[in-house]
C-alpha cells in the first residue's frame, strides 16, 4: 500500500528565538534532510519516500515545522529525530523547550480500502475518502508520536483489510490423523440423557451445569486417566494458576487485541465501607429486587475477566526471568478451576457452555525441546484415545488458538508453530466435537512476558487444553450409558452409580 505521512508541529521555547538562533535552526534542518533522515534508509530509496522538512518558520518564541514523508523515516519519526538534534543547538542560544504541539497529522493510504477497514477511534478526527484511497486526519500528542501510534494505525488498517479478504473463507483445517472406525453403541444426545436420569441439571447461570455425584464419577475417572496415564508419566508437575485475569496479563498474552465479546468481566467495589452500600441492601430488602443500576455506580470499571484461555495467568510466575538449562523443558499443568466464555447463542449440551472445567498442560524450553514435548504429548494422547478409551476421533491442524483468540485467521508463518485440534465423532448428529488441543505457540509467550533461557537460544512454549466436559460428552456420545459397553480402563475407576438424592 502506498503511504504518505504529513505533520505540522510547533516547538515553543522559553523566550523569543533571536535571528542567530533561527539561522542555527536552518542549519539543523539542512542536515536533517540530507543526513539525519536518511540514516538506516536503503541507498536506492528515492528522496520523495523519505521524511523531509518541507517548510519551517520562526515567530516569537515558536518554531513551526512541516514534515512530509513516504514510508521511510516517517513524519513522526523524522520529527522526533529533528527535535533531538535541535534541542542542544537551541540550548547554546539559551533557549529551552517549553512545550510541543502537534497541529496536524495526516496519513494518506492508497489502494482498495473498504469502509469497514477504517477504524473508528477518538484520535481519528476526520477521514477523507478519495478515488484511490483514504486520508486519515489525526489529533495526536507528542507522547502518541513517541508510542509510534501512526505506525500502529497503518498496521491496524492493513489487518482489517486482510481480515475482510479472509472473511468469507472457512477457518484453516487440515486433517493429520484419523482413528479406526468404532462400533456404534449409542445414538442419542448424552446431555439429554444426563438431564433425564438426573445426573446433571442446568445451573442458575447461563451455560452452566450442576453435575451430580454419578456424572462426577465419570468426569473424574476421565480426568484420572488424563493425569495418571498421560500427564504425570510424561513428567508434568501440578501448579495452581489464578482464575481472575487482569488486563496486564491479557495485554502481554495478546488477548487484549480481541477477546472482548467473550469475556466474563470482573469489577471490584469502589468502597468496602458497609455505609457506602447501605442503600443498595435497603433497596433489596424493601423491593426484593437487586438494584443493578445502583450497583453499577458503586463498582470500578472491570479490572479484567474470568479465566478464559487458562495458560496466560501462569506467565507472571516466570516473567522477566532467565531459566537455567538444567530445568528445561519446564512441564507443568493446572486443573484448579473453571474457565468462562460468553458463548451467547452457541450454548449446546454439556459440551458448549459458558463455564467449563479444563486441565491446561503447559511447557517451554528451546525450540527443539518445545516441539519434541508437543510430539510426545500427541503420541500419548493417540495411545489413550485409540487403546484405552477406544474412541473414534481425528486430529487436524487448525488456525492457532492464540491467533483465533486475537481475532486473526489463517495459519502461522512458521510451520512448526500451530494448533492441533482433537475431534471426536458424535454419532447422534454426525458432527465432530473438538474435545482438546495441542499447540506449539512459538516465542509468543516467552517474548510477551520477557522470559529467557540460559543458552541464549530462542525460547518457545506450548500448551494443551483438555476439556473435561468435552471428553465426557465425546465418551458418552460414543459409548452410551450401558456400562457393559464401557472400556475396562474407565469401569475400574467408577463404582456402581448411586442415587444420593431422592426427590419426593
Ligand atoms: N490455552 C489454550 C486454549 O485456550 C489451550 O487450553 O485453547
Ligand atoms: Zn494454553
Q: Of the residues 4, 74, 358, 470, which is catalytic?
A: 470
> In this structure, which residues have their CB less than 5 angstroms from ion ligand 2?
311, 463
- Measured CA distances, 500 to 389, 422, 469, 478, 491 (Å): 27, 34, 21, 26, 20
Give the distance (Å) from ligand 2 centre to CA of residue 333.
Answer: 10
The C-alpha atoms of residue 150 and residue 322 are separated, in whole angstroms, by 34
- Measured CA distances, 30 to 89, 343, 430 (Å): 14, 59, 72
Closest ligand by atom to 314 CA: 2
DSSP labels, 77-106: HHHHHHHHHHHHHHHHTT--EEEEEEEEEE
Q: Of the residues 307, 395, 459, 463, which is catalytic?
A: 463
C-beta of residue 308 within 8 angstroms of C-beta of residue 258 = no
Q: Is 43 exposed, middle or buried (CB count within 10 Å of its CB: 0-12, 13-18, 19+)?
A: exposed
Closest ligand by atom to 463 CA: 2
Atom of ligand 1 nearest to the CA of 437: 5
* Cis amide bond preceding 329, omega within 30: yes
Residue from 312, 439, 441 to probe ligand 1 pocket by mutation (most atoms less than 8 Å from CB): 439
**Predicted pLDDT at 166:** 75
Q: Is the pLDDT of residue 180 over 90?
A: yes
C-beta of residue 427 within 8 angstroms of C-beta of residue 398 = no
**Predicted pLDDT at 162:** 86
- The grid cell for 17 is 528565538
pTM of the shown model:
0.91
C-beta of residue 473 within 8 angstroms of C-beta of residue 190 = yes
> Any idea of the CA torsion for 320, 324, 327, 331, to the nearest 10 degrees?
30
Q: Which distant-in-sequence residues (6+ apart) come within 8 Å of 378 by Cβ?
A: 395, 420, 438
Helices and strands (H and E) in the chain: how many: 14, 22
The DSSP code for 179 is P
C-beta of residue 269 within 8 angstroms of C-beta of residue 277 = yes
Q: Is 423 a catalytic residue?
A: no
Q: Is 297 a catalytic residue?
A: no
Quick: pLDDT tens for 79-118: 999 999 999 999 999 999 999 999 999 999 999 999 999 9
Cα separation of the two ends of the chain: 72
C-beta of residue 74 within 8 angstroms of C-beta of residue 151 = yes
Give the distance (Å) from ligand 2 centre to CA of residue 345.
Answer: 25
C-beta of residue 469 within 8 angstroms of C-beta of residue 347 = no
The DSSP code for 331 is E
CATH superfamily of 169-267+302-491: Bira Bifunctional Protein; Domain 2 (3.30.930.10)
Region 178-207: mean pLDDT is: 96
Q: What are the structural domain ranges in the chain?
A: 2-166, 169-267+302-491
**Predicted pLDDT at 495:** 87
The C-alpha atoms of residue 261 and residue 409 are separated, in whole angstroms, by 17
C-beta of residue 190 within 8 angstroms of C-beta of residue 435 = no
Among protein residues, the one with the nearest Cα to ligand 1's atom 5 is 465
Q: Is the pLDDT of residue 32 over 90?
A: yes
Q: Is 325 exposed, middle or buried (CB count within 10 Å of its CB: 0-12, 13-18, 19+)?
A: exposed
The C-alpha atoms of residue 66 and residue 75 are separated, in whole angstroms, by 9
Q: Is 341 a catalytic residue?
A: yes
Closest ligand by atom to 438 CA: 1
Q: Is 311 a catalytic residue?
A: yes
Quick: pLDDT tens for 446-492: 999 999 999 999 999 999 999 999 999 999 999 999 999 999 999 99
Q: Which CATH code, of 3.30.70.1920, 3.40.50.150, 3.90.1170.40, 3.30.160.270, is assigned to 2-166?
A: 3.30.70.1920
Q: Is the pLDDT of residue 168 over 70?
A: no
Region 17-44: mean pLDDT is: 97
242: three-class secondary structure by DSSP: coil
**Bigger pLDDT: 407 or 205?**
205
Percent of the chain beyond pLDDT 70?
99
Quick: pLDDT tens for 386-444: 999 999 999 999 999 998 898 777 778 778 999 999 999 999 999 999 999 999 999 99
Residue from 401, 438, 471 to probe ligand 1 pocket by mutation (most atoms less than 8 Å from CB): 401
- Measured CA distances, 259 to 106, 264, 315, 408, 490 (Å): 30, 10, 18, 11, 36
The C-alpha atoms of residue 149 and residue 143 are separated, in whole angstroms, by 9
User: Count of CB atoms within 10 A of residue 65's CB?
Assistant: 25
Q: Is 182 a catalytic residue?
A: no
Q: If you search the block for the grid coordinates 513524519, which residue do you land on?
A: 75
Region 313-318: mean pLDDT is: 98
| Bridge pairing between strands 452-453 and 322-323 | parallel
Q: Is the pLDDT of residue 169 over 70?
A: no
Q: Is 360 a catalytic residue?
A: yes
Average pLDDT, the chain: 96
Give the distance (Å) from ligand 1 centre to CA of residue 437.
Answer: 7
Give the distance (Å) from ligand 2 centre to CA of residue 171.
Answer: 19
Interior/surface letters 402-441, b for 16+ CB within 10 angstroms, e for the rest: bbbbbebbebbeeeebbbbbbbbbbbbeeebbbbbbbbbb
User: Count of CB atoms within 10 A of residue 319's CB?
Assistant: 15
Amino acid at each position: 500500500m502506498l503511504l504518505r505521512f504529513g505533520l505540522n508541529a510547533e516547538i515553543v521555547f522559553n523566550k523569543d528565538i533571536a535571528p542567530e538562533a533561527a539561522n542555527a535552526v536552518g542549519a539543523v534542518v539542512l542536515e536533517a534532510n540530507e543526513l539525519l533522515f536518511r540514516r538506516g534508509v536503503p541507498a536506492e530509496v528515492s528522496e520523495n519516500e523519505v521524511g523531509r522538512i518541507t517548510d519551517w518558520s520562526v515567530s516569537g518564541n515558536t518554531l513551526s515545522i512541516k514534515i512530509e514523508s513516504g514510508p521511510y523515516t516517517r513524519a513522526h519519526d523524522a520529527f522526533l529525530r529533528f527535535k533531538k538534534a535541535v534541542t542542544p543547538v537551541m540550548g547554546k542560544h539559551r533557549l529551552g523547550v517549553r512545550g510541543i504541539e502537534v497541529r496536524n497529522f495526516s496519513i494518506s493510504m492508497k489502494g482498495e480500502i473498504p469502509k469497514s477497514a477504517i477504524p473508528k477511534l477518538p484520535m481519528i478526527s476526520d477521514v477523507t475518502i478519495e478515488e484511490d484511497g483514504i486520508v486519515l486526519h489525526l489529533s495526536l500528542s507528542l507522547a502518541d508520536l513517541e508510542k509510534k501510534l501512526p505506525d500502529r494505525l497503518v498496521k491496524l488498517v492493513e489487518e482489517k483489510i486482510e481480515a475482510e479478504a479472509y472473511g468469507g473463507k472457512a477457518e484453516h483445517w487440515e486433517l493429520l490423523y484419523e482413528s479406526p472406525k468404532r462400533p456404534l453403541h449409542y445414538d442419542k444426545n448424552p446431555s439429554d440423557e444426563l438431564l433425564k436420569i438426573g445426573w446433571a441439571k442446568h445451573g442458575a447461570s447461563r451455560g452452566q451445569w450442576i453435575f451430580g455425584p454419578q456424572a462426577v464419577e465419570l468426569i473424574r475417572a476421565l480426568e484420572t486417566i488424563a493425569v495418571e496415564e498421560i500427564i504425570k508419566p510424561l513428567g508434568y508437575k501440578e501448579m495452581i494458576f489464578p482464575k481472575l485475569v487482569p488486563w496486564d496479563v491479557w495485554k502481554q498474552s495478546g488477548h487484549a487485541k480481541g477477546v472482548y465479546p467473550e469475556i466474563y468481566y470482573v469489577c471490584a467495589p469502589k468502597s468496602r465501607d458497609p455505609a457506602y452500600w447501605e442503600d443498595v441492601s435497603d433497596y433489596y430488602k424493601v423491593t426484593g429486587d437487586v438494584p443493578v443500576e445502583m450497583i453499577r455506580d458503586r463498582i470500578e470499571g472491570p479490572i479484567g475477566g474470568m479465566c478464559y484461555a487458562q495458560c496466560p495467568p501462569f506467565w507472571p510466575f516466570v516473567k522477566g526471568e532467565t531459566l537455567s538449562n538444567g530445568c528445561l523443558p519446564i512441564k507443568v499443568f493446572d486443573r484448579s478451576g473453571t474457565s468462562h466464555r460468553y458463548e451467547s447463542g452457541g450454548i449446546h449440551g454439556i459440551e458448549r457452555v459458558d463455564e467449563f472445567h479444563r486441565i491446561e498442560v503447559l511447557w517451554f524450553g528451546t525450540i527443539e525441546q518445545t516441539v519434541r514435548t508437543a510430539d510426545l504429548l500427541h503420541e500419548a494422547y493417540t495411545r489413550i484415545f485409540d487403546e484405552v478409551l477406544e474412541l473414534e476421533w481425528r486430529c487436524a491442524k487448525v488456525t492457532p488458538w492464540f491467533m483465533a483468540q486475537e481475532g486473526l485467521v489463517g495459519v502461522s508463518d512458521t510451520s512448526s508453530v500451530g494448533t492441533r485440534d482433537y475431534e471426536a465423532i458424535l454419532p447422534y448428529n454426525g458432527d465432530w466435537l473438538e474435545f482438546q488441543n495441542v499447540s506449539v505457540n512459538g516465542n509468543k509467550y516467552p517474548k510477551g512476558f520477557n522470559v529467557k533461557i540460559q543458552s541464549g537460544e530462542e525460547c518457545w512454549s506450548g500448551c494443551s487444553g483438555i476439556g473435561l466436559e468435552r471428553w465426557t460428552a465425546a465418551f458418552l456420545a460414543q459409548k452410551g450409558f450401558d456400562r457393559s459397553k464401557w472400556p475396562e480402563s474407565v469401569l475400574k475407576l467408577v463404582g456402581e452409580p448411586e442415587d444420593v438424592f431422592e426427590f419426593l
